[in-house]
Amino acid sequence: MSNVDKFTEVIANGYTTKGDSFVLGAAMLDEQHIVKNLLVKAPLRTLNRHGLIAGATGTGKTKTIQGIAESLSNKGISVFLMDIKGDLSGIAEAGDCNPKIDERHEKIGIAWEPHYLPVEMLSLSKEKGVRLRATVSEFGPVLFSKILDLNEVQSGIVSVIFKWCDDCNFPLLDLKDFKKVLQYITKEGKDEIEADYGAVSEASTGTILRKVIELEQQGADVFFGERSFDPRDLIDIRDGKGLISVVRLMDLQDRPKLFSTFMLSLLTEIYATFPEVGDAEKPKLVFLLMKLI
């Protein structure tokens, strides 16, 4: 048995799946010889686990992620993408054929033709796209305190603010609302708050205010407010293809607070909204996150 025959047998047996799968690419022997029609596949049911795509600059990480997103969409699975460098937005348009692409796919043995995919552009800032927002009240005191990186005493004051707002039926929609309440409990409302909820230190409220201002300076005032996003909107099937949601983050690389705030909010909403389904044959929503190192 030749090396090619042995290689073909190993790959064919290794990537035979019981359920449905999607193609990652073709198998290559000795970095030169492409074995035609010998495809590397991933089972759809394994996508409820974490995976890692790593490599140096220019090795094809972004194109790999884009290819996975396109394959999953064609399987009727919705995909959530983070566009950090601005090079994923091209997924919204059908590609163009050219001789190099045709030659490559002929060698691989994968038929390819440009086609439409349902894509929505999303934004956390003033980038073009559907604006994603959430209210302060929806975060709750624990999560909001973590975002501000507060200590135990300061977190207790945040809990008092949320409790007072709940008791008074006062919704905390944005950071301006939170700052107004913070100023109220420190000044004219201090006696009322201390009578019902305990003493509040001005030094602590001053620190909290500075933390909120720091969050505002990173653009969080654009994110907090109404109308709140619904994570169920990320799951949609159009013409049999899964929706690809692309969050444009090109202007947020130097504002990690805003990005982390959004991710905490999104994961919290998903945990509270989506039902537990166990090991399904295929996922309904797949997250593909990119990180610059």
In the predicted model, is pLDDT for residue 269 greater than 80?
Answer: yes
Contact between 105 and 112 under an 8 Å Cβ cutoff? The reply is: yes
pLDDT tens digits, one per residue of 49-80: 888 888 888 888 888 888 899 999 999 999 99
Neighbours of 1 (CB within 10 A): 8
Q: Sign of dihedral through CA atoms 203, 204, 209, 212?
A: positive
174: its two tokens: 């944005």
CA distance from start to end of the chain: 44
pLDDT tens digits, one per residue of 156-195: 999 999 999 999 999 999 999 999 999 999 888 888 888 8
Report the mean per-residue pLDDT for the chain: 86
Phi, psi of 16 (to 5 degrees): -85, 120
- Classify burial at 233, counting beta carbons within 10 Å of its beta carbon; exposed 0-12, middle 13-18, buried 19 or more: middle
Q: What's the confidence (pLDDT) of residue 250? A: 79
Q: Which of 138-142, 154-158, 163-167, 263-267 comes out lowest in average pLDDT?
A: 263-267
212: its two tokens: 């909120």
pLDDT bucket at 95, cuts 50 / 70 / 90:
confident
pLDDT bucket at 291, cuts 50 / 70 / 90:
low
The alpha-helical segments, DSSP class H, found in the chain are: 3-14, 61-74, 99-108, 136-148, 152-167, 175-186, 190-197, 202-217, 220-223, 256-273
The DSSP code for 238 is E
pLDDT bucket at 30, cuts 50 / 70 / 90:
confident
pLDDT bucket at 125, cuts 50 / 70 / 90:
confident
Q: Whole-angstrom Cα distance, residue 63 to residue 55? A: 12
